[in-house]
Structure 1
Amino acid sequence: MFSKILIANRGEIACRIIKTARRMGIATVAVYSDADRRALHVQMADEAVHIGPAPAIESYLVVDKIIDACLKTGAQAVHPGYGFLSERASFVKALSQAGIVFIGPNENAIEVMGDKIASKKFANLAKVSTIPGYLGVINDGDHAVQVAQEIGLPVMIKASAGGGGKGMRIARAIGEVAQGFERARSEAAASFGDDRVFIEKFIENPRHIEIQVLGDKHDNVVYLVERECSIQRRNQKVLEEAPSALLDDNTRREMGEQAVALARAVNYDSAGTVEFVCGQDKSFYFLEMNTRLQVEHPVTELITGVDLVEQMIRVAAGETLSIQQDDIKINGWAVESRVYAEDPANNFMPAAGRLRTYRPPAEGNTNGITVRNDTGVYEGGEIARFYDPMIAKLVTHAPTRAQAIHAQCEALDAFALEGIANNLSFLSALMHHPRWQSGALSTNFIAEEYPNGYKPVAPQGDTARRVAMAAAIMECGIHPGEQEANVAQANEPAPFPSTLSRVVRLGDEAFSLTLTPVSPDSWQIQFDGDPTVHTVASGWKTDEPVWRGTINEQAVVIGVDIGQEPYLLSHAGTQATALVLTPTENALLAVMPAVNEEQEKRCLVCPMSALVVSIAVKVGDQVSAGSPLCILEAMKMEVSMDAEEDVVISRIEVKPGDQLASGDIIMEFA
């Protein structure tokens, strides 16, 4: 077994690998760029080596720097995590030549399976069910159109190298093919240094289900059941779960056996994932094989009890798998949410900046419910604009799917995150969505359920009442108001106030409540016109970003943005600003004149830190709504900025190659 390994990665996956290595008694070496000097993975590792400037192409992607770090520290092996160098066969070869072990599959398996075109050809030979498509390299836009016409629309245009949704476009009309080809090729070149793309038939209303495989160097291969990753946005996974609500035992076994057959055909000797696109009728087709650890591997670990990182390390050290196929059982259900620094209400634009508050829910197992949070950040740390904006992966495990979802709902409400745009409200809305909870999934879920994009919704019904009661005692517990007149002497402690009346405004809805204190941390509350008496208890303090309490003896958790006044409250997939007023204040508010704000000059503003790839218009152009204005690149993804209405371009402030900050003006409209 190795005594020291180097992790050629950063962020949450580097931290996750360090945890397993530490448990195994293996020393760890972290590498870091200028942007990651104070990163969590650097703090956690036993040693750390600086490898260059912030851009990955000058640091994390430089093979010689990784090898030099191994030689300097005496690291015997390298775990690549995912992304960066994890699926680069030339990296494996270079490590081998330097006498360093790669903790991952052999060079040939990476080369064959890591190339999506070659892998599909190989899968055909191995008699694995595959999607109809053109497996050769597409030469240009005209060739792409010809191939699409031969296959039949809709088609998927996809980068041959890499993954993560980068370099992928769906074309449903012939007119979209050439543009989709150029965009996919451009993204592929920027993200993977390889601009080859191919085209295959796009399966309508599909589900994305993948099989985790694990092999050793002694011809043993097993599959660790499946994960479903159908909830995706722009081909990027958002929610994952294991197992899948779609599969039955026979389909699960058939998919698993095909995955093992493919792995055996390339002498696969590590953890890897065979991805399938599935029809609602449980038909399935090989999509690709990822020759690395997957982002969503924690859900598999929780339902099987297998530490995949440990198994990768042991296999790389030459050990025989201690697990046989009959040993693998499904234990309960696991759900994972990917917490990102992005703005869901602004077309999910990635964000960068400092985490003013970062307090995830407590990890551990309580009453059969497990909460796990894989992260690479800390309170006060920064999300750098140079890398993927993932903040954490929040995972819950329980005996049943419904229980795992309920636990995830509570954990999301308890996740305190301020200072940077994030997708917690969106994740919570997804988790509470009836269609998700019923398991009626497809990769079109987000596009179908949020066709106009995501906007936070205000609480309704019982949810609104819970939020209103919590908001009322947040205010009255700190500013009791009426009881001040009852204080006989300034040096005497204030008694409990008499019954109070408050109006709680949640967005456009107002609730009139009567509050009677029972103790410093307990109140009885009634809504006007309703005789029901609600008992609310909480020890919440003003500096706590999560309100925890009980309402009628039922535990309730509500997120509180303490950096905003009045408080922004998040609960059960909803979000609202809570304004708590006395009846007099509420009456005065109703007669106050509306504020007339001067209309701002119309312009296109950069929504995030980004690079200008191209400008599609010039001054004087008349542009129709929906037409592209420019293309930006952020976090290695290209984003088209389109006109929201018919406009005339009066001024352009930037040019291709410019690096913009959030809020920079790109162009102005007449």
Structure 2
Amino acid sequence: MKKLLIANRGEISRRIFKAAKERGFIVAVIVTLEDSDSLICHEVDHIIEVSNFLNAIEIVEKAKKWGADFIHPGYGFLSENFEFAELVEKSKISFIGPTSQNIKMMGSKETAKKIAQKCSVPTLDALFSSDLKKIPADKWEQELKNRKIYSPFLVKASGGGGGRGMRIVEDVHELPQAIKRASEEAKASFNDSTVFVERYLKNPRHIEIQVFGDGLGGGVFFGERECSLQRRHQKVMEEAPSSQVNEELREKMGKASLALIKETQYKGAGTLEYLLDDEGRFYFLEMNTRLQVEHPVTENVYNIDLVHAQIDLAEGKWPDSFPDPKQFHLLKPQAVSLEARILAEDPRNQFLPTPGKITFYQEPKGEGIRIDTGVTEGSRINSNFDSLIAKLIVTAPNRALAVKKLRIALENFSIFGFTTNLSFLHSIAMHNDFLIGKESTHWIADNIKSLINYNISQNLKALFECKKFREQLSILIRGVEKSSQINNTFLNQGRNFTNVTTNLESKLNFDFFITKSSEKNKFYVAGNSIIKFLQENDEQNSLNSELNNTLSNLSFYNQEVKIPFYALKLTPQEIQVCLFGEYLILECPYYNESRSNKSSSGSGEIRAPMAGKVFEVLVSEGQEISAGQVLFIVESMKMQLEVKSAENGKVKEVFVKQGQILSGSDVMAMIHLNV
């Protein structure tokens, strides 16, 4: 039996594992000490512990010792590291991916740009890393003008992807600091600190072409993916095909992509990324010499399996289900597929990472719904890795049905234990611009205020936040039948929760009741007066699709409304509720805990924004500081965040040092504030 080692983790490791087991392979996965409790570790045949996911030499040596026939690198980590691929090739293990030479040529964004120019593929001009080293910083401004590269500028990591190592810069004088930060982030994420500068297009579409090369100059392409919905250069949602790419443009982009495949004699799966402007002109950005995070939408639209195809090629044969690589094929999309990336982050708190333990996990089910994930209930989302929890992929015959399916699937995806971006994704899916395909790489930034608003009606939110509702729910969760059994001396202190006004509270004095479902953590709120209350005086008028249908149908037949929701006690004080794709944190009215020892605002404490690691300490005791000054750099989930001072003052004491692990809202420093 053949042996395959997965040199990755999370959802992509499970995706590869599934394909390998379908072929009857023996499968091992590499793990680190901090990731040894992950779901994949309980599924594979063997576990190979390594010091970290970037230690190429150690991974290859242990793969040889285990007797691996194949190594699949997944995406991220070492997947685009030509030195790793070269080590694997020299070890006589088959690398499931491009050749090391392919990766060296196209895995570097700088080199790929030059090859694209050679093939007459349109590109954006750039100031390359060699230029940044050769030209003094005080001459950059003039050199950028000479090359017709005008503000805003984009500092970009040459290796890797996922928005890591990227910075938008408006003022040319801010380039040195932006380059330093981007380089550090790229080094931490991809073990490659190389960055360059190019012109930043403000509102383009981001289109990518999926290719598969035979290694001899031939290849096929499987249409395009729309990846324009991004936040800080990180993709949020993807779809195939693009709603704005017609057959003529698809053919042009496909031929341009295959020209690069021919020039490089590319082998295996790869993705060519382009920017598309309003006039239909496209510019080559880079090539990802690996499997993409969003590959499932292409698989669903063209009825292919890219992982099986990769393994076929590694075994020396062209995939039977693929067209002849020696001829050009313009394949027709068979469906529409959308993907939403579910992340451990808080959209209403500047998208800060929210690592933690999953206390309840329930996926939506149904025809045309696919979930790729590396977690289950009880899994930990680790601050040492990226924030991806799962990928929700829906497929339907047309885009309108796919969007509807996505909305309903998001409303039925429940993850408790920490904050996720599920409600944010639901807001995007519910937006009219998304329905009509009006997208750009800047669309999320332009609409961020509305996207982080609550996407349930004010009346429905008020119902769940009222004291009467919280009392009933608290009792049901505790399993206590009568509220009189609750100790009335419980205190209500600590966190400030949103409370409905007295006037609105009085409107809620009608009969409603909560019942518990036989399904885990599922409840219903019911009552004959709910329809009238929810439909009257609703300023937002923003009931989601499923609730609107429920109200309309039951009102027509004069039936009792039963609103389903999920609820779980997070802490002695907090109840987390999932309601039609929206998440609420409710205060438990029977909460007994001494006052929080957190200092009030203005106390001079500088606290960590989340769990992670102190990447850099930029201040020392006794130092005078000003409002907005960066004091610390914290790294969490492969992202670097700046911790700034809110006021002018003097550093009284520093409590952390570089490399220190932060458990959460740790005090990093005390500041004596200037009065």
Q: Please, what TM-score do these two structures have when normalized by structure 1?
A: 0.81
Deviations 1:346-396 (A, max 9, x none): 32222333222222223x41xxxx111111112112222222121111111
Shift of the 258–354 alpha-carbon distance from structure 1 to 2, 3 Å rule, reads same
SS in structure 2 opposite 1:443?
coil
> In structure 2, what is the equivalent of residue 536 of structure 1?
none
Determine the C-alpha separation between the residues in 2 that align with 1:193 and 1:104: 19
- Report whether the alignment pairs 1:35 with 2:69: no
Deviations 1:385-443 (A, max 9, x none): 22212111111112222322222222222222122332222222222233333322111
Amino acid at match of 2:420: N
Amino acid at match of 1:410: I
2:384–2:612: 8 Å Cα contact kept in structure 1?
no
Shift of the 613–461 alpha-carbon distance from structure 1 to 2, 3 Å rule, reads closer
2:98–2:266: 8 Å Cα contact kept in structure 1?
yes
Q: What does residue range 294-309 of structure 1 map to in structure 2 within 5 Å? A: 294-309=292-307
Amino acid at match of 1:563: L
Shift of the 194–293 alpha-carbon distance from structure 1 to 2, 3 Å rule, reads same
Unaligned runs of 5+ in 1: 53-57, 486-504, 534-545, 582-594
* Alignment counterpart, residue 117 of structure 1, candidates 102, 110, 114: 110
> In structure 1, what is the equivalent of residue 610 of structure 2?
608
Determine the C-alpha separation between the residues in 1 that align with 2:432 and 2:101: 45
- Report whether the alignment pairs 1:13 with 2:12: yes
CA RMSD across the alignment: 3.6
> In structure 1, what is the equivalent of residue 567 of structure 2?
560
Determine the C-alpha separation between the residues in 2 that align with 1:135 and 1:259: 23
Moved more, 241-250 or 281-290: 241-250
Determine the C-alpha separation between the residues in 1 that align with 2:636 and 2:408: 32
Structure 1 residue 201: deviation in Å? Answer: 0.9
Determine the C-alpha separation between the residues in 1 that align with 2:188 and 2:514: 63
SS in structure 1 opposite 2:290?
coil
Deviations 1:452-473 (A, max 9, x none): x97552632686599799x969
Deviations 1:488-536 (A, max 9, x none): xxxxxxxxxxxxxxxxx98555553645899998955225977999xxx
Amino acid at match of 1:11: G
- Report whether the alignment pairs 1:240 with 2:242: no
SS in structure 1 opposite 2:267?
coil
Determine the C-alpha separation between the residues in 1 that align with 2:144 and 2:639: 24
> In structure 2, what is the equivalent of residue 386 of structure 1?
384
Shift of the 457–547 alpha-carbon distance from structure 1 to 2, 3 Å rule, reads closer
Deviations 1:227-271 (A, max 9, x none): 111122221111111111221221121111111111121111101
1:210–1:227: 8 Å Cα contact kept in structure 2?
yes
Moved more, 442-451 or 370-379: 442-451
Shift of the 266–649 alpha-carbon distance from structure 1 to 2, 3 Å rule, reads same
> In structure 1, what is the equivalent of residue 540 of structure 2?
none
Structure 1 residue 572: deviation in Å? Answer: 4.8
Structure 1 residue 205: deviation in Å? Answer: 1.0
Larger proportion of strand? 1
SS in structure 2 opposite 1:612?
strand
* Alignment counterpart, residue 374 of structure 1, candidates 372, 375, 378: 372
> In structure 2, what is the equivalent of residue 460 of structure 1?
457
> In structure 2, what is the equivalent of residue 499 of structure 1?
none
1:81–1:292: 8 Å Cα contact kept in structure 2?
yes
Amino acid at match of 2:218: N
1:8–1:30: 8 Å Cα contact kept in structure 2?
yes
Determine the C-alpha separation between the residues in 2 that align with 1:211 and 1:169: 24
1:615–1:629: 8 Å Cα contact kept in structure 2?
yes
* Alignment counterpart, residue 358 of structure 1, candidates 339, 358, 361: 361
> In structure 2, what is the equivalent of residue 659 of structure 1?
661
Amino acid at match of 1:342: E
Shift of the 15–35 alpha-carbon distance from structure 1 to 2, 3 Å rule, reads same
Q: What does residue range 571-586 of structure 1 map to in structure 2 within 5 Å? A: 571-572=579-580, 574-576=582-584
* Alignment counterpart, residue 577 of structure 2, candidates 564, 569, 573: 569
1:278–1:284: 8 Å Cα contact kept in structure 2?
yes
SS in structure 1 opposite 2:528?
strand
* Alignment counterpart, residue 69 of structure 2, candidates 67, 76, 86: 76
SS in structure 1 opposite 2:239?
strand
* Alignment counterpart, residue 126 of structure 1, candidates 113, 119, 136: 119
Determine the C-alpha separation between the residues in 2 that align with 1:402 and 1:67: 47
- Report whether the alignment pairs 1:65 with 2:58: yes
Shift of the 464–291 alpha-carbon distance from structure 1 to 2, 3 Å rule, reads same
- Report whether the alignment pairs 1:273 with 2:245: no
SS in structure 1 opposite 2:508?
strand
SS in structure 2 opposite 1:270?
strand
Determine the C-alpha separation between the residues in 2 that align with 1:428 and 1:191: 29
Structure 1 residue 557: deviation in Å? Answer: 5.6
Q: Please, what TM-score do these two structures have when normalized by structure 2?
A: 0.81
> In structure 1, what is the equivalent of residue 331 of structure 2?
328
Determine the C-alpha separation between the residues in 1 that align with 2:192 and 2:260: 25
Structure 1 residue 141: deviation in Å? Answer: 4.4
* Alignment counterpart, residue 220 of structure 2, candidates 213, 219, 222: 222
SS in structure 2 opposite 1:306?
coil
* Alignment counterpart, residue 171 of structure 2, candidates 170, 173, 180: 173
Amino acid at match of 2:81: R
SS in structure 2 opposite 1:525?
coil
Structure 1 residue 299: deviation in Å? Answer: 1.1
Determine the C-alpha separation between the residues in 2 that align with 1:116 and 1:163: 10
> In structure 1, what is the equivalent of residue 401 of structure 2?
403
Determine the C-alpha separation between the residues in 2 that align with 1:7 and 1:44: 12
Shift of the 112–418 alpha-carbon distance from structure 1 to 2, 3 Å rule, reads same
Moved more, 58-67 or 88-97: 58-67
Deviations 1:563-596 (A, max 9, x none): 3677543445544456899xxxxxxxxxxxxx9x
Shift of the 570–357 alpha-carbon distance from structure 1 to 2, 3 Å rule, reads closer
- Report whether the alignment pairs 1:93 with 2:86: yes
Q: What does residue range 127-206 of structure 1 map to in structure 2 within 5 Å? A: 127-137=120-130, 138-139=132-133, 141-142=137-138, 144-150=140-146, 151-206=149-204
Determine the C-alpha separation between the residues in 2 that align with 1:458 and 1:507: 17
Determine the C-alpha separation between the residues in 1 that align with 2:515 and 2:636: 52
SS in structure 1 opposite 2:404?
helix
Moved more, 173-182 or 148-157: 148-157
1:276–1:288: 8 Å Cα contact kept in structure 2?
yes
Determine the C-alpha separation between the residues in 1 that align with 2:629 and 2:307: 46
Structure 1 residue 645: deviation in Å? Answer: 4.8
Q: What does residue range 423-434 of structure 1 map to in structure 2 within 5 Å? A: 423-434=421-432
Amino acid at match of 1:182: K
Moved more, 177-186 or 507-516: 507-516
1:10–1:32: 8 Å Cα contact kept in structure 2?
yes
1:217–1:318: 8 Å Cα contact kept in structure 2?
no
Amino acid at match of 1:423: N
> In structure 2, what is the equivalent of residue 512 of structure 1?
508
Amino acid at match of 1:425: S
What percentage of residue pairs aligned between the two structures are identical?
34
Instruction: State the number of aligned residues.
Output: 607
Determine the C-alpha separation between the residues in 2 that align with 1:49 and 1:376: 16
SS in structure 2 opposite 1:293?
coil
Structure 1 residue 446: deviation in Å? Answer: 2.4
SS in structure 2 opposite 1:312?
helix
Determine the C-alpha separation between the residues in 2 that align with 1:477 and 1:634: 34
SS in structure 1 opposite 2:151?
coil
Shift of the 217–227 alpha-carbon distance from structure 1 to 2, 3 Å rule, reads same
> In structure 2, what is the equivalent of residue 489 of structure 1?
none
Shift of the 287–73 alpha-carbon distance from structure 1 to 2, 3 Å rule, reads same
